[in-house]
Structure 1
Amino acid sequence: MPERFARIAALALLVVLIIALPLLVSLFGALNAPAPTRTPTIQIAAANASSTPAPATPTFLPLTATTEPTSAPSPSPTAGCQNPATPEPLWVNPVVSPTNLLTQKISVTLGRGREISITSEAGTVTQQGDFTIANPAEIEIALLPNAQNHLLVVGKVEYTPGCFYTLQTQIDRVGNPLVILQNSAQNPPLPILSPTPPLPGTVYLKPFSQVFALNQDAPSPSDQLWLYQADGNSPFQVLAQEGAFTHLLSQGGTLNFWTLSDNVVTTAPPPPQYDSSPAGQRVEFVSDKIFACEGQYPRNLILGVCAEISGATEGEALQRAQVDSSILYQVRINNKIYWVSSNVLKQEPA
């Protein structure tokens, strides 16, 4: 009898399991079903006119005490371009100050330059072109009357095709601030382009000054440049002055050229300080295009032709020369001797 009841109980349990199995499957399927998705609501805030930033007001940079042109690649660099190497030279010739003229031409040298602008209290003047060390820009600017005009020179450099950065400076190539004091009368005189009467007496030319317009009656800064390498004891006579330039004639009449008036002094200047300690050291240049002037060793030339040299990446130093605050190096490049500015060297020799 107990065995019979056990069989009946087992059969009843089997029937219950068969009936409950579909219910369990449905229950587990409902638990595993993904929750219904919700579409997020996106709210777009209306633009507030007061949130638009006001245009930046240009401010004039204060003069700095540095003696090197301020260089700041901007933008840095053009999107998709590699970082530029050593910045190209940006040199500005000394300005004439004070002056009673209402305009003045500014000479700017910029390597691989594509655009140069000069900003002052009188406004901004921009000139575009293909500027090189051998092809400087001559930009005429207006001057604010009876005021100091502070110049900010900005140059745009194309260091590789389609890649640009900018350089800026507020000092000239010898370290003086680019400030022009304009003193005008009620009726300011018009610019005088004809040569003015010469100054009396004997004058001298600073060593390693650049000269141009040999044997010409009028200056033309775009002409061939030469480097005067003789000592400063040779006397000259002033033939004429025109703007920022002076016409000189050497004693005996063998040399006849123009130069910047700042290169002319009334007393014999101190001789250059020569240093032969860099002799034999290799020097690298900041670019494969440098501005150099022919030289001679051990005895200097009187005048050496200046030009842009292409394809030179290094040279051998022969000696160093210091004139005032300027430092030059005599180097041998491809068996030729040149004078170069310390600015074209990646690192000066010890």
Structure 2
Amino acid sequence: MKNKMISRSFAAAMATATMLSTMGLSVCAASEGLYQGDNLTEIPAEKILTTDGTTYQPDTTFSFSVSNGNGTTESTQVTDDKGNLVYAGVTGGLYTDASCGAVFSAASQSSDQIQAIYQANGKLKLDVTAFPKPGVFHYLVSETPSTYDGITSDTNIYDVYVYVYTDDAGNLSIKNVVAKKQTPKGPVKADLTFSNDYGKDNDGTHDVKITKTIAGNQAVKSQNFHFQVKVTAKDGAAEKYLVKYSKDGKTETTDMLQSGVQKEYEMTNEGYVLVYGLSEGDVVDVKEKEANSDGYTTTIQANTTQFGSNLIKNEATGTLQTSVKKDGAIIGYLNEKNGVIPTGVMATVGPSLILVLAATGLGVAFFRKKAE
């Protein structure tokens, strides 16, 4: 009796799918977690990155993992929520390859395209020829953990059920795929979506501010100094970095740095270059071209708790190289020029002055005596 009910449910589901296919529907999500089509060969898998709103998307591809789920055995019967028998997934029936990844590219972004959320679509492929018979086949889908610097991967796992049907001629087709996210309260039907934190909450990206201070009794605070700034992304990725720049601390403009490409910024007193979106593995290089010139002494100030162990600074050449491990990091360049106030004037003219005063005194005495 139970097998008859299962067969009826399966037949009803197949009839529904056939009706939808005659309406000309291709791959689509009829409702959340349900993908339908004439004979599905792939289904979408969405990838989302959340940022702090000051970071370009990374230059990388994220991939997905598929494994065979459990199903009915000789000793255990597994069914779906409609009562259909569920079989363990068949290798090659649902799979991924190099073309299935979700691709993010910083190269495609301009300086005004900074977003808090980035999205890209990957996919999973289906091969009906891998299935030996009609039925419901169970798979487990997750994202492959990312090793990209600054990203926290999504650990969600989805149960994916592939519905394989047959026609009167014995031809197999895939008309339905159902995805359910595993939750503490049990599986919940949901689209295949994986969300990664890229600096929104995980502190995976940082910023650094390069500041300029001119001081001293002979300093000219409007004097121009030129800074060469370069960021090199970890593993040579083609990253981009948002820059907020002010020559004098009064007017700010937006700029962009590309990984491995040096840019020059002109600053006077209170000027700054603020670089966002730095992962801890990125390397920042700074050089002040006029360091220790024109009578100025250059000092570079950098709090070591904000930077990596690779911090190297050379005040003689005005250079610094480091990685950044905390938000709000500051690299301060102080150019100081002080003139020496002349001293020892009294010591030099003292004896002569004494003689002059003595002579003046004698002259006064002489005239007094003469007057008497």
TM-score range, shorter chain: under 0.3
TM-score normalised by L of structure 1 = 0.21
Larger relative contact order (CA 8 Å, sep ≥ 6): 2
